[in-house]
Amino acid sequence: MRVAAAQARCPWLDREAGVRKVVDFVGRAAAEGVELVVFPETFLPGYPIWLSEAGGVEFADDRQEAACAAYRELAVELSGPEVRVVVESVRDHGVFTYLGIAERGPGRGTVYCTLLAIDPVTGVCGVHRKLVPTPEERAVWSNGDGHGLQVHEVGGVRVGGLCCWENWMPLARHSPYAQAPDLHVSVWPGSTRLTGDITRFVALEGGVYSLAAGAVVDYADVPAGFPLRDEVLAARHRSPYDGGSAIAGPDGRWLVAPVRGEERLVIADIDPAVVRGARRELDPDGLRARPDVFGVSVDRRRGFPG
């Protein structure tokens, strides 16, 4: 199977432009013979970069509240037009797609960091809400649940995915491992600093192919009307969101080392038979998991409606 990370420049807080970008990269993936493509964390409508660049956790600050309100307003609803357009594109091109969105839940008040799995035939087949946002992210995102911790069958390849620092949570990683995946996907805001170690670590620990997808964010793309634009631009000379998309094999060696700064598809061919061979030495969901000693359960009930 040919797989790819869509390392794209994020049209920050521009949902319509973001959807066009997703549709464009799905089409590019199909033209390259890709069967599965992965987009970065909250690619629609963009990662909340001001949280780390402009004092986003300050309380009783009118401009911070206005920034959060603007972000919430542009979050994506599962039943909204943005998801419908992407589902149609996935169906037209026949490319299974993982897409990171900031999902606005019921009541319009709650926003989740969500990873959608979109099948070309059945449409949205997975909605995973990030279990625990990082301390800064909690200013805009709520805790998710275990409902979406599912592995999906894609053309004979079993695939599961996690968001950003969930990939450093041992029990969160164990959930897909226990479902015997061939490929693990991780989605990130976009940084070679974040993906360099964990992508290879997951490949070795899980005995899987490991694909990381990160965005490229240019601070110049922050729209003029955003309340904290000046603070974001003044924070540093260059955006740290430089991509970092990468693909490692089950032996932990790079098929494609982290890509810095480029906007492109990061592509590799994978073979499930290689995964089965790699698990000869370490099988994290088999006998070496010692089910007679350890027991792990996952509560897959949806925490809130939606």
Single out the catalytic residue among 10, 68, 113, 164. Answer: 164
* Beta-strand relationship, 111-119 and 123-129: antiparallel
CA dist 273 and 258 (Å) reads 25
CA dist 251 and 51 (Å) reads 36
Decide if 41 is catalytic.
yes
Single out the catalytic residue among 113, 130, 163, 166. Answer: 130
Decide if 130 is catalytic.
yes
Q: Which of 149, 137, 35, 172 is nearest to 96 (CA)?
A: 35
* Cα 28-33-36 angle, rounded to 5 deg: 80
Beta-strand ranges (E) seen in the chain are 2-7, 36-38, 96-104, 111-119, 123-129, 152-154, 157-163, 183-187, 209-213, 243-248, 254-260, 264-269
Beta-strand ranges (E) seen in 67-204 are 96-104, 111-119, 123-129, 152-154, 157-163, 183-187
CA dist 225 and 80 (Å) reads 24
Catalytically annotated residues: 41, 130, 164
